[in-house]
Amino acid sequence: MAELVFFNGTMDCGKSTLALQMHHNHAARGRAGLIFTKLDRAGTAVLSSRLGLSTPALEVTDDLDLWEEVVGMATAGGRVDYLICDEAQFYTPAQVEQLARLVDEMGLDVFAFGITADFRATLFPGSQRLIELSDRVQELQVEALCWCGRRATHNARVLNGVMVVEGEQVVVGDTSPAASGLVEYEVLCRRHHMRRMTSHAARAAALSPDMLPFGLDICPVPPPAM
């Protein structure tokens, strides 16, 4: 049975790497697929991994009708067995509904990859609709780590070295300087996200003679399970 599967996790947990691997595995078995992405850090119409792997992709714009795009290709004689949809948090809710329709009415497997919440710990509209409609919602097992060593659960936006909690929901970072400065992202545990304690702030506190009320506020790392 065809499925809509949403693979999710924080940044740095290997979502795009898994997307590339799944495409390779299905193509190696003779299946024909399409790769979609939106606002990839490497540029337009490319799916890239932080490990350095990349492949050409179809860029998703807000006005792209995924149902019409895929049905049009199939009507023209193209074969489509599955879709790889990276950066799916940036898709519109209507586009997620189009993906579900492709699963139900055309029997395509759709594998979507994305983060669930933004830098304010608020669900992206696309991710929310994926959680609501997907046949399976699967959290990736590769855990990204906060600077303190605990499991990272939140994505933080850092502007010129300072964590911010206000601004537009979608701003591509890592390599793109914004008009007001350099935008970067960092993964944090919930405690340090709520306290706005990034790795930069922690290093600054460690070097400062005026320590925080609770020292450096490092979360103890729990012992491994027996």
Q: Catalytic residues, which ones?
A: 87
Q: How far apart are CA 84 and CA 66, in angstroms?
A: 12
Q: How far apart are CA 42 and CA 47, in angstroms?
A: 8
3-state secondary structure the chain: CCCEEEEECCCCCCHHHHHHHHHHHHHHCCCCEEEEECCECCECCEEECCCCCEEECEECCCCCCHHHHHHHHHHCCCCCCEEEECCHHHCCHHHHHHHHHHHHHHCCEEEEEECCECCCCCECHHHHHHHHHCCEEEECCCCCECCCCCECCEEEEEECCEEECCCCCCCCCCCCEECCEEEEEEEECHHHHHCCCCHHHHHHHHHCCCCECCECCCCCCCCCCC
